[in-house]
Chain A
């Protein structure tokens, strides 16, 4: 049995300890906001926070989360009103929207450590999040808007 606090709620999970966190979230718990994009930690669509740090859930076995706190896009804010989410809506960042959960989760971790990031810091911290539609320019703007810079 693996115990993980997911979005503030402790959960006992009777799953294959090797199952990547992504599939536990999506297939077992029905938390589908975290997306599958590459399965190789190359695209960042599956980004979540493990004890506050960014991880790519598609390559991280659930046993790594035992006794830890996991935050997904569903738990980033209760009402979907995290400053980043507000900025995302205000600037119309999403196109297809598929990568945006991951983009926002990476950006949220960045803002905790660097509340006033530079363009370069944004590019470095979001370097692992791909967007095929090409929303990067608005992503940069929205991160800065949320940060008030």
Chain B
């Protein structure tokens, strides 16, 4: 399989240039997921089955969601994470009732609307933790998908509003402008929104949960 994939990926580069977003011709193969590269929705058109395609699109989007820039503030407990390895945030700030910290240790005590100039303190408008119902850390793409679709757990959003959130939210946008010393999220905010959009168009089907043994 690998032998086949490599020439296909090379052809793609020859045909379309380095940017995956400008793909105009449907490729014959789905390019292999490469480190640091987010595949575009068009790459997935090779998957004929709509539901399978929808699932695959979500898995691709979840590569962004589970990256440290997003997941660090979607913890399943009361402590944000930080850094490329998602270590516990230090100073040890606590979630608090609104996800904005506790008195005297609010997110906004240190984080402003933008990354700090000489310090390594990141910032973006509305810096806060996602509610626990939206936790991503420790969850599979299938879990995250189900939870994203569930208005009871996604902040009462419709699917269209989800796309809107991914596409325009300023805090989400920070993932691609995280400041010096931090790796940006995969792809771009527009690419993420496009993937989510394509996932919805293909039926918003969630990936099949994987049992511990790895069997479907």
CB-defined A-B contacts under 8 Å, sample of 6: A39-B119, A41-B121, A56-B110, A114-B103, A125-B103, A128-B109
Of A6-14, A59-67, A72-80, the stretch lying at the interface with chain B is A59-67
Q: How near does chain B come to A85, taking the closest CB pair, in angstroms?
A: 16
Q: Which residues of B contact A18 (CB under 8 A)?
A: 117
4 nearest interchain CB pairs? A41-B110, A125-B104, A113-B103, A128-B91
Most chain A beta carbons < 10 A, residue from B91, B104, B106, B116: B104
Which residues of B does A touch, CB under 8 Å? 90-94, 102-106, 108-110, 112, 116-121
Distance between Cα atoms of A54 and B92 in the complex (Å): 16
Which residues of A does B touch, CB under 8 Å? 18, 39-42, 44, 47, 53-56, 58-61, 64, 106-107, 109-110, 112-114, 121, 124-128
Q: Which residue of B lies closest to A43 (CB)?
A: B91
Distance between Cα atoms of A18 and B106 in the complex (Å): 22
Q: Which residues of A contact B109 (CB under 8 A)?
A: 41, 47, 53-56, 128
Q: A59-B119, A110-B103 are in contact. Are A42 and B108 (CB under 8 A)?
A: no
Q: How near does chain B come to A135, taking the closest CB pair, in angstroms?
A: 17
Distance between Cα atoms of A121 and B112 in the complex (Å): 24
Docked-complex contact B119 and A54, CB < 8 angstroms: no
Given A59-B112, A109-B103, A110-B103, 18 more A-B residue pairs with CB atoms under 8 Å apart are: A39-B118, A40-B120, A40-B121, A41-B109, A41-B121, A42-B90, A47-B109, A55-B110, A56-B110, A60-B112, A106-B104, A106-B105, A109-B104, A110-B104, A124-B105, A127-B93, A128-B91, A128-B109
Distance between Cα atoms of A41 and B110 in the complex (Å): 6
Q: Which residues of A contact B93 (CB under 8 A)?
A: 127-128
Q: Which residues of A contact B121 (CB under 8 A)?
A: 40-41, 59
Q: A42-B91, A127-B91 are in contact. Are A53 and B102 (CB under 8 A)?
A: no
Docked-complex contact B112 and A107, CB < 8 angstroms: no
Q: Pick the contact of A125: B90, B102, B110 (CB < 8 A).
A: B102
Docked-complex contact A127 and B94, CB < 8 angstroms: yes
Distance between Cα atoms of A127 and B94 in the complex (Å): 9
Distance between Cα atoms of A43 and B103 in the complex (Å): 16
Q: How near does chain B come to A122, taking the closest CB pair, in angstroms?
A: 10
Q: Which residue of A lies closest to B116 (CB)?
A: A59
Q: A42-B91, A59-B110, A61-B112 are in contact. Are A126 and B104 (CB under 8 A)?
A: yes
